[in-house]
Chains A and B, each alone.
Chain A
């Protein structure tokens, strides 16, 4: 017993002294650096595409031996909190940050991010115009670029070609929502637990309201008008929500409030839904024969519409430079490298073409190997990314840039609370008009803040 105890103590002691030694070294980290090497800190969301970036860092160092990139990975919400805290307090701890499309205009307006317009235009090789215009618009404020897109996505409709063929229905190239509701009703099959269509209804501004806001846009509704007057209980908004909930009730998944992106992906790949309206980035998983029973059986068409021509959403993860950074020059060198035309080819040849960051550059969709790996959905994604308009997605003009969200800080909260009210409507615990009246009040409080300045 005692010898065992002593041995354990010795191990513990060794661990303590080792950790002391290591942390002692860390204190001298700056002295250890070779002279002339700048360390650039990058705070990144822990998505697979960003981890691929970390894996390719040695390639960057071959070109720039004088810049050392220190990548810090965080979960999305943690990153949002840490980065907000850093930029808002002018800490300058992170030189580069991955910023979501929702935050870029807000942070740009606050002058928290460096204006990259001139830097990006300075290098003809970088070719800013090669980025899809909607994606560029999404990360601009007042015509100035505050971050550059790393990868992007829109939304489209995925459908089971085999089931449509069996039912004798031809899917139009640009379907309307009324057609989709009709098809969903025809293709649902309660005896095999198959839904006509899977639509997200899990509460949350990024879950239920991503697809639902695109429906609202194309039905002629919107969150706010040009005077930041909330429009949540206006006819367009109400009609769209009613349509969404009716479609869910008639031909949607059985337990809608449980269903977000992950749940719908699971349902659709297990052959339990005939259609699914969601992110273009879902197609990669749907076509992955290892986890999906429907690989090869799926067709893709544009997001269904009603009054507008297009209705896809727009999301991107972007690289932005902290306005307080002391290493803006080296930071830009890295940002340029990671968002360049060559980077897409580098990922493709080093890690595989299916891992190339999608949805940002036209040139990516001209690479033959990428088209081959991307199958049917890659060319369509490129078309959609070019067609959507984040400055004017709905019928009426709007005072912000963004399709499935409103770029004001309060929107997460407004969307979240309203989606919880709608979950009650879906379950029949609350009438739709009362829920939307309450949503209107919640949205108006945020709108009033915006009016003030």
Chain B
């Protein structure tokens, strides 16, 4: 059963790629070599442009992180050495902020992945009005983040008039002061609502790429619906889920609007992105904000390298 799944002819592509890599400049002679060299010269300006466009902002950030630069005291601008980095480590805002980011992004990710999977499985069936249902389910993803935050703040989570508290009131639960008592949860709600459709779309693509004959074969072999889902569909969805998690993290880690509109960074909702905004535009400490940025980039690179390696391992073990 499992053998049929692995017969997909994807193993060919890497082999070809490896072959063409081997033919380096050294193996080429005469006209071909000259052509290659000329081609490289032609590409050179584009390469320089690419480096300039992608790396200059980062280099500028590194430069700023060594400056003592308060926007409101522009005359006192000077070289700061490592004092901005010392400030980042000693003033105790950074670690709580990383923790807040992990909790908010992690929580929203798990919730939206589970909900997305449920919705994708339901949408994968044939029924009347399927296209309409799909469109309706996608809309939260198309709403602008600021608008979504306002909807949640005023229409859903408002303590006296919000729909959530009204709904809870029907089953006899006292109104909850969401933003005061559970600020992190309000952000997780908003993010989950926004990103569930995204997860659903990617997982739905995965479900629809599953070959019908294989599932039929499983059915003939006597597998129950749950067994088919658990041992065939879920492993098949794994790569899709990983892609969804990767892209989702990239999107969610930049969350800003709901925090600025709903919680203002209070109560464990000060994520890295919001902390950076506060340091730069409320604290007006450009140097310190840049130092936060640089440290964040370094941590992200370390984290991403580890994560991608583990993921790569999973891929190879699978194959």
Q: Point out residues on A near B: beta carbons under 8 Å.
A: 77, 81, 84-85, 88-89, 106, 110, 193, 202-204, 207, 253-258, 272, 409-410, 412-413, 416, 419-420, 423-424, 426-429
What is the bound-complex CA distance between A51 and B76, given in angstroms?
36
Q: A255-B158, A416-B278 are in contact. List 14 more A-B contacts (CB 8 A).
A: A110-B75, A203-B263, A254-B159, A254-B160, A254-B175, A257-B179, A258-B178, A258-B179, A410-B70, A416-B282, A419-B266, A420-B265, A427-B181, A427-B267
CA distance A258 to B284 in the complex (A): 25
Contacts of A203 in B (CB 8 A): 263-266
A15 to chain B, nearest CB (A): 26
**Residue ID in chain A nearest B183 by CB atoms:** A257
The contact of A426 among B73, B180, B265, B282, by CB within 8 Å, is B180
Residue of B nearest to A452 (CB): B76
Give chain B nearest CB distance to A448 CB in angstroms: 13
Bound CA–CA A256/B178 (angstroms): 10
A149 to B266, CA, bound (A): 34
B177 within 8 A of A: yes
Check A409/B74 contact, CB under 8 A, given A255-B180, A423-B266: no
Q: Select from chain B the residue with minimum beta-carbon distance to A106.
A: B72
Interface residues of B in 37-87 (CB under 8 A from A): 70-75
Complex CA distance for A258 and B73, rounded to whole angstroms: 33
Shortest beta-carbon distance from A423 to chain B in Å: 4
How distant is the Cα of A85 from the Cα of B177 in the complex, in angstroms? 41
Chain B residues positioned under 8 Å from A85 (CB to CB): 71
Q: How many residues of B contact A (CB 8 A)?
A: 30
- Show 26 A/B contacts (Cβ-Cβ < 8 Å), sorted by A: A88-B74, A89-B74, A106-B72, A193-B160, A203-B266, A207-B264, A254-B175, A255-B159, A255-B178, A257-B263, A257-B267, A258-B159, A258-B177, A258-B178, A409-B72, A409-B73, A412-B282, A413-B282, A416-B278, A419-B266, A420-B265, A420-B270, A423-B264, A423-B267, A426-B180, A427-B267
Tell me if B281 counts as interface (CB < 8 A to partner A): yes
Residue of B nearest to A416 (CB): B282
Contact between B264 and A420, CB atoms less than 8 A apart: yes
Q: Is there an interface contact between B283 and A256, defined as CB atoms closer than 8 Å? A: no
B160 and A272 within 8 A (CB): yes
B residues in contact with A253, CB < 8 Å: 159
Q: How far is the CA of A424 from the CA of B266 in the complex (A)?
A: 7
Across the interface, which residues of A come within 8 angstroms of B284, CB to CB?
409, 412-413
A107 nearest CB neighbor, chain B only: B72
Give, as a whole number of angstroms, the nearest-CB distance from A247 to chain B. Answer: 15
* B74 to A: closest C-beta gap in Å: 4
Find chain A residues with CB under 8 A from B264 CB: 202-204, 207, 420, 423
Chain A residues with CB under 8 Å of B72's CB are: 84, 106, 409-410
Query: With a CB–CB cut-off of 8 A, which chain B residues contact A428?
Result: 181
For residue B306, give the distance in angstroms from its CB to the closest CB of chain A: 32
Kindly list chain B residues whose C-beta atoms are within 8 Å of the C-beta of A202. 264
Evaluate contact between B180 and A409: CB separation under 8 angstroms: no
Q: Compute the total of residue contacts between A and B using a CB distance below 8 Å.
A: 87
Cβ contacts under 8 Å, A88 to chain B: 71, 74-75
Interface members, chain B 151-209 (any A CB < 8 Å): 153, 158-160, 175, 177-181, 183
**A84-B71 contact given A203-B265, A254-B159, A420-B264, CB 8 Å threshold:** yes
A429 CB contacts on chain B under 8 angstroms:
267
Please report the C-alpha to C-alpha distance between residue A153 and residue B121 in the assembled complex, in whole angstroms: 58
Task: Tell me how far the C-beta of A189 lies from the nearest C-beta in chain B, rounded to whole angstroms.
Answer: 12
B70 touches A424 (CB 8 A): no
The 5 closest A-B pairs by CB, nearest first: A409-B72, A423-B266, A88-B74, A255-B159, A255-B177
A258 touches B153 (CB 8 A): yes
Report B95 CB to chain A, min CB distance, Å. 15
A410 to B177: give the CA distance in the assembly, Å.
32
A253 to B282, CA, bound (A): 27
Q: Which residue on A lies nearest to B284, using beta carbons? A: A409
Q: Which of B239-292 contact A (CB under 8 A)?
A: 262-267, 270, 278, 281-285
Pair A258/B74 contact, Cβ less than 8 Å: no
Q: Could you say which residues of chain B place their CB within 8 Å of the CB of A412?
A: 282-284
- Tell me the minimal C-beta distance from A320 to chain B in angstroms: 16
Interchain CA distance A427-B265 in the complex, whole Å: 14
In the assembly, what is the distance between CA of A419 and CA of B283, in Å?
14
> What distance in Å separates the Cβ of A194 from its nearest Cβ neighbour in chain B?
9
Give the CA-CA distance A427 to B184 in the complex, in Å: 12
**In the docked arrangement, what's the CA distance between A254 and B284, Å?**
33
| Distance to closest chain A CB from B82 (angstroms) | 18
- Name the CB-closest residue of B to A267: B160
Q: Is the CB of B282 within 8 A of A256?
A: no
Which A residue's beta carbon lies closest to that of B160?
A193
CA of A255 to CA of B180, assembled, Å: 6
Known: A193-B160, A203-B265. A413 touches B179 (CB 8 A): no
Q: Which residues from A are CB-within-8-Å of B180?
A: 255-258, 423, 426-427
Q: Closest chain B residue to A257 by CB distance?
A: B180
Residue of A with least CB distance to B285: A413
Partner of A257, one of B74, B175, B266, B281: B266
Please give, as numbers and ranges, the residues of chain A lying within 8 Å of B158 by CB-CB distance: 255, 258
Bound form: Cα–Cα A426–B183 in Å: 12
Residue from A89, A255, A272, A419 having most chain B Cβ neighbours under 10 A: A255
Q: How far is the CB of A174 from chain B (nearest CB, A)?
A: 32
Please report the C-alpha to C-alpha distance between residue A204 and residue B266 in the assembled complex, in whole angstroms.
Answer: 10
For B181, list chain A residues within 8 Å (CB): 427-428
Across-interface contacts of B285 in A (CB, < 8 A):
413
Most buried by A among B175, B266, B278, B282: B266
Q: When chains A and B are docked, how far (Å) is the Cα of A50 from the Cα of B278?
A: 28
A424 to B264, CA, bound (A): 12
Give complex CA distance A237, B155 in Å.
36
Residues on the A chain within 8 Å of B70, using CB: 409-410
Q: Which residue of A lies closest to B72 (CB)?
A: A409
- On chain B, the residues within 8 Å of A426 by CB distance are 180
Assembly CA distance A409 to B282 (angstroms): 10
> What is the bound-complex CA distance between A413 and B277, given in angstroms?
12
CB distance from B90 to the nearest CB of A (A): 11
The residue on B at minimum CB distance from A413 is B283
Residue of A nearest to B176 (CB): A255
Cα-based distance from A258 to B285 in the complex (angstroms): 27
Tell whether, in the assembled complex, residue B159 and residue A420 are in contact, meaning their CB atoms are under 8 Å apart.
no
Q: What residues of A have a CB within 8 angstroms of the CB of B266 in the complex? A: 203, 257, 419-420, 423-424
User: What CA separation (Å) do A338 and B201 show in the bound complex?
Assistant: 57
Closest chain A CB from B183 CB (angstroms) = 7
For the complex formed, measure the closest distance between the CB of B283 and the CB atoms of chain A, giving whole angstroms. Answer: 4
A87 (CB) vs chain B CBs: closest residue: B74
Q: How far is the CB of B12 from chain A (nearest CB, A)?
A: 39
Residues of chain B within 8 A (CB-CB) of A416 are 278, 282
**With the chains together, A89 CA to B69 CA distance in Å?**
13
- B160 CB contacts on chain A under 8 angstroms: 193, 254, 272
Roughly how many angstroms separate A420 CA and B178 CA in the complex, as a whole number? Answer: 16
- In the docked arrangement, what's the CA distance between A204 and B181, Å? 18
CA distance A258 to B267 in the complex (A): 12
